[in-house]
């Protein structure tokens, strides 16, 4: 049996082809998808971020690691699509308007999918109205929005206002996250949940979906 730590190390080295191959091998050896995501992708990107903070690597090396991670994520998505996994809830996720760095969002998305939550990924730079429209159309139980810059954080407040105006707050909750975001800010703008990192965002969102028992269709 292979060691999932090898995926993390390969990702850190920016080797996209080998990362993809190792993920495929792990899937073939029947490793749990959630474990592959946590021990391979999340652990790898955490290590990359720490090495960058310690000035051990430079930005181009981070870009290579992101590329390797995304290659691995593609293999996981293919495996999930081919499985008979039954979705236990629905989440809408995206970066607020003005945000284009998607690494953290992509990790949250694949982790949620590995936990049985259907994810509607709206991508980067998503307006408040687009979040709300998607939540209504997909009958999502939770909206997850992320901001990595202090200058874009006010867009989260716009989302809370838009969701309130649309009358969906009773059955669709809002979780905010991102480097400059805090619990205090979450309370200030009236968001429902806050989590500081990938694993806690995924755990909190998945737990809420499970507690509410599936899609809005079941609730209504």
24-51 pLDDT, tens per residue?
Answer: 999 999 999 999 999 999 999 999 999 9
User: What are the pLDDT digits (tens) for 137-169?
Assistant: 999 999 999 999 999 999 999 999 999 999 999
Q: How far apart are CA 84 and CA 112, in angstroms?
A: 16
Summarize the confidence of residues 62-80 as an average pLDDT: 96
- DSSP H or E stretch at residue 119: strand 118-121
Q: What whole-number percentage of the chain has pLDDT above 90? A: 92
Confirm if 148 and 121 have CB atoms less than 8 A apart. no
202 Cβ contact list (under 8 Å, min separation 6)? 108, 111, 112, 115
CATH number of the domain at 5-82, please? Answer: 1.10.1240.10
User: Residue 214: what pLDDT?
Assistant: 57
Tokens coding 96 = 């607020």
Domain extents in the chain: 5-82, 90-219
Q: How far apart are CA 134 and CA 118, in angstroms?
A: 13
| 77-110 confidence digits (pLDDT tens) | 999 988 877 899 999 999 999 999 999 999 999 9
Name the CATH superfamily housing domain 90-219: Cobalamin-binding domain (3.40.50.280)
Is 88 in contact with 119 (CB distance < 8 Å)? no
Span 181-185, average pLDDT:
98
What confidence score (pLDDT) does residue 86 get? 85
Phi, psi of 177 (to 5 degrees): -155, 175
Q: How confident is the model at residue 220 (pLDDT cuts 50, 70, 90)?
A: very low
Residue 1 has a pLDDT of 85
């Amino acid at each position: 049996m292979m060691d999932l730590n090898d995926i993390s190390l390969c990702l850190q080295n920016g080797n996209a082809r080998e990362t993809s191959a190792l993920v495929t091998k792990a899937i073939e050896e029947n490793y749990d998808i959630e474990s592959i995501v946590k021990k391979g992708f999340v652990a790898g990107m955490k290590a990359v971020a720490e090495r960058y903070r310690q000035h051990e690597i430079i930005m181009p090396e981070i870009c290579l690691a992101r590329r390797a991670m995304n290659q691995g994520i593609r293999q996981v998505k293919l495996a999930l699509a081919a499985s008979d996994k039954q979705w236990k809830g629905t989440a809408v996720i995206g970066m607020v308007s003005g945000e284009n760095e998607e690494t953290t969002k992509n990790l949250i998305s694949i982790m949620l999918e590995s936990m049985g939550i259907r994810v509607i990924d709206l991508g980067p730079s998503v307006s408040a109205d687009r979040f709300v429209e998607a939540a209504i159309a997909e009958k999502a139980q939770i909206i997850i929005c992320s901001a990595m810059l202090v200058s874009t954080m006010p867009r989260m407040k716009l989302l809370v206002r838009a969701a309130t105006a649309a009358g969906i707050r009773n059955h669709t909750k809002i979780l905010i996250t991102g480097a400059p975001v805090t619990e205090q800010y979450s309370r200030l703008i009236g968001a429902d949940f806050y989590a500081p990192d990938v694993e806690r965002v995924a755990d909190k969102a998945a737990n809420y979906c499970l507690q509410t028992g599936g899609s809005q269709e079941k609730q209504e």
